[in-house]
Structure 1
Amino acid sequence: MIELENIAYNYGGGELLSEVSLELSPGGFYFLTGPSGAGKTTLIKLCYGALVPTTGQLKMFGQDRRTMERDDIAQARRRIGVVHQDCQFLNHLSVSDNIALPLMVSNRDLLAEAVNLKELTNWVGLASRAQALPPELSGGERQRAALARALIMSPDVVLADEPTGNVDWEMSQRLLRLLVELNRMGKTIMIATHDLGLIRAAKSQVQARVLRISNRRVQLAGADL
């Protein structure tokens, strides 16, 4: 689905990632780990086409990122749901309307999608908060709303950048269970995290590959995690 072949990415005059080759396969579950500043967020952005590699080849659903037109990129991104680290919302809109924003941007029929929106809001445990405004939400509720927004277009791939970074352990486990359930439904999942405890907790629930960014390269982590 997403293929990176011998890519490098330069940032601020220096090389942040180098000689990275990675393939996100259909139905795969991946953890991306590494210290702060190693390039986890940059790699996530490369995977959904927000950044173009300095060298090497990036393919999104079989298309070379460098040759994709704006419409091609938009179509590809509809197949990728992204849970951003900072969880930005429009504070004057309700939780339900924030979740539905990708539908509005894509000119989808909101009435036709109403049942799906309601079911998704319920699935992430926010049915009772659907009409609340974002400033009224707790950290865990914001993360679940962000996950719902990433899923509203029924993507094939879900990329989550530190989705449990600002929540307690109980909520991080709830978010993990939701992502594992998505994977069992056939979605490809990649979670960028520095939380090794979360990775260990996931091992009893899903068969995941653990990737570590070290010295600008992506390596398969050992079995000691």
Structure 2
Amino acid sequence: MIELDDVGYSYGGGELLSHVSVRLAPGSFHFLTGPSGAGKTTLLKLCYGALTPTSGVVRAFDGDLRGLDRGQTALLRRRMGVVHQDCRFLDHLPLADNIALPLIVSGRDMAQESANLKELMGWVGLTARADARPPELSGGERQRAALARAVILSPDVVLADEPTGNVDWEMSMRLLTLLVELNKMGKTVLIASHDLGLIRAAKSQVQARVLRISNRQLQLAGADL
């Protein structure tokens, strides 16, 4: 699905990532850990083409991301669901419409998709907030909405940057269950997270690899997690 081959990335004159090689195979489940500022968000951005590596090659679905034009990049990103930390929404639209935006952009029949939208909003506990505008939402509600929007098209790959950072434990487990179910359907999942409790919970449900960024490089974390 996604492969980084000897990738390096420099920012502001300093090297943030160096000699990173990893393959996210179809149907695999990965966690990405490391201290703040280690480069977790940067690595995710490299995976979906928001950043271009300083060295090395990033491939997605067997294609080199450097060779894609704007149209090809747009089509590629429809196959990737990305949960950003900053949770950007259109403030003038109700929450349900914000979550449904990928369906609208891709030309889906909204009448046929309405049941799926309602079910997904129920999964993330936002049914009662369907008509709320984004400025009215709490941080946790925005985070749940971001995850719902990222998976609404049932993408082949889900890349999530701290998807449970602003929610309580019960909701974290609910969101984890959704991601695990997507993985069991064959989706590739990569989650950047500081939460060791979440990682341990996931490892009891799914075969998850844990990757750690340390000293600018990517390592396979030990079995103690």
Same fold (TM over 0.5): yes
Distance in 1 of aligned mates of 2:39 and 2:59: 19
- Give the SS at the match of 1:159: strand
Distance in 1 of aligned mates of 2:47 and 2:38: 16
The alpha-carbon deviation at position 97 of structure 1 amounts to 0.5
Is 1:30 the counterpart of 2:30? The answer is yes
Normalised by the length of structure 2, the TM-score is: 0.94
- Give the SS at the match of 1:224: coil
Name the residue aligned to 1:88.
88
2:124–2:174 Cα contact (<8 Å) kept: no
Distance in 2 of aligned mates of 1:201 and 1:32: 15
- Give the SS at the match of 1:18: strand
CA RMSD of aligned residues (A): 1.4
Q: Work out the number of aligned pairs and report it.
A: 225
After superposition, residues 125-144 of structure 1 pair within 5 angstroms as 125-144=125-144
The alpha-carbon deviation at position 12 of structure 1 amounts to 0.8
2:25–2:188 Cα contact (<8 Å) kept: yes
Task: Render the CA deviation track for 1:92-141: whole Å, top value 9, x for unaligned.
Answer: 21111100112233344433433332232233232222112223323332
Further displaced range: 190-199 or 209-218: 190-199
The alpha-carbon deviation at position 143 of structure 1 amounts to 1.8
- Give the SS at the match of 2:179: helix
Name the residue aligned to 1:154.
154
Name the residue aligned to 2:100.
100
Distance in 2 of aligned mates of 1:45 and 1:31: 15
Name the residue aligned to 2:64.
64
1:140–1:171 Cα contact (<8 Å) kept: no
Normalised by the length of structure 1, the TM-score is: 0.94
The one-letter amino acid paired with 2:150 is: A
The one-letter amino acid paired with 1:209 is: R
Task: Render the CA deviation track for 1:129-164: whole Å, top value 9, x for unaligned.
Answer: 211222332333222211110012220000000111
Task: Render the CA deviation track for 1:62-102: whole Å, top value 9, x for unaligned.
Answer: 11111111111111100000011111212221111100112
Unpaired runs of 5+ residues, structure 2, are none
Distance in 2 of aligned mates of 1:106 and 1:179: 22
Distance in 1 of aligned mates of 2:201 and 2:114: 35
The one-letter amino acid paired with 2:214 is: S
- Give the SS at the match of 2:88: coil
The alpha-carbon deviation at position 170 of structure 1 amounts to 2.3
Is 1:190 the counterpart of 2:197? The answer is no
The one-letter amino acid paired with 1:168 is: D
Distance in 1 of aligned mates of 2:104 and 2:215: 41
Is 1:55 the counterpart of 2:51? The answer is no
